[in-house]
């Protein structure tokens, strides 16, 4: 079973992103607001994905398959009212871990979130974030992309 172990943080200040890779992302959700499982379509630059994410905060099931642009466009209209647009910057932290920094646009601007994935729960729980990270929102469901796609930026 594929599991995602990650922590999510608000961003206090933007780091130097000159070495980070940038991707333009649009994603939409095919599942209803009250569904505990997420079924997501994502376009990341010129690549397309269908992703299933299970219930959870720090640890949850994640399964992803690359799909064609035509398959993406077939289902994209069904995500109306449940979409997110952002720029994603991927880079390495001084400790070697990978970060994914999302700078949201549209209705979610100027929100910025950063995620770090881990190989174990112990590593995730013991992680000390750098100074540019803000509050830990891993357990705050208001900051899940699906929730924000439906309800907007948390108060």
Longest CA pairwise span in the chain (Å):
43
Q: On the CB side of 39, how many CA atoms lie within 13 Å of its CA?
A: 10
β partners of residue 65: 50
Task: Indicate if 89 belongs to the active site.
Answer: no
Q: Are 105 and 85 in contact (CB under 8 A)?
A: yes
Angle at 100 between CA 151 and CA 17, to 5 degrees: 115
CA distance 17 to 57: 27
b (16+ CB within 10 A) / e for 80-111: eebbbbbebbebebeeeeebbbbbbbeebeeb
Q: Which residues are identified as catalytic?
A: 29
């Amino acid at each position: 079973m594929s599991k995602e172990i990650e922590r999510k943080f608000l961003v206090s200040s933007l780091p130097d992103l000159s070495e980070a890779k940038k991707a333009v992302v649009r994603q939409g959700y095919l599942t209803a607001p009250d569904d505990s499982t997420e079924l997501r379509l994502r376009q990341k630059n010129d690549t397309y994905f269908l992703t299933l994410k299970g219930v959870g905060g720090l640890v949850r099931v994640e399964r992803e398959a690359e799909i064609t642009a035509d398959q993406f466009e077939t289902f994209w209209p069904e995500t109306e009212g449940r979409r997110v647009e952002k720029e994603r910057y991927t880079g390495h932290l001084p400790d070697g871990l990978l970060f994914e920094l999302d700078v949201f646009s549209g209705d979610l601007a100027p929100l910025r979130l950063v995620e770090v994935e881990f190989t174990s729960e112990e590593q995730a729980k013991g992680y000390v974030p750098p100074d540019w990270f803000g509050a830990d929102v891993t357990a705050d469901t208001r900051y899940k992309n699906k929730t924000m796609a439906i309800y907007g930026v948390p108060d």
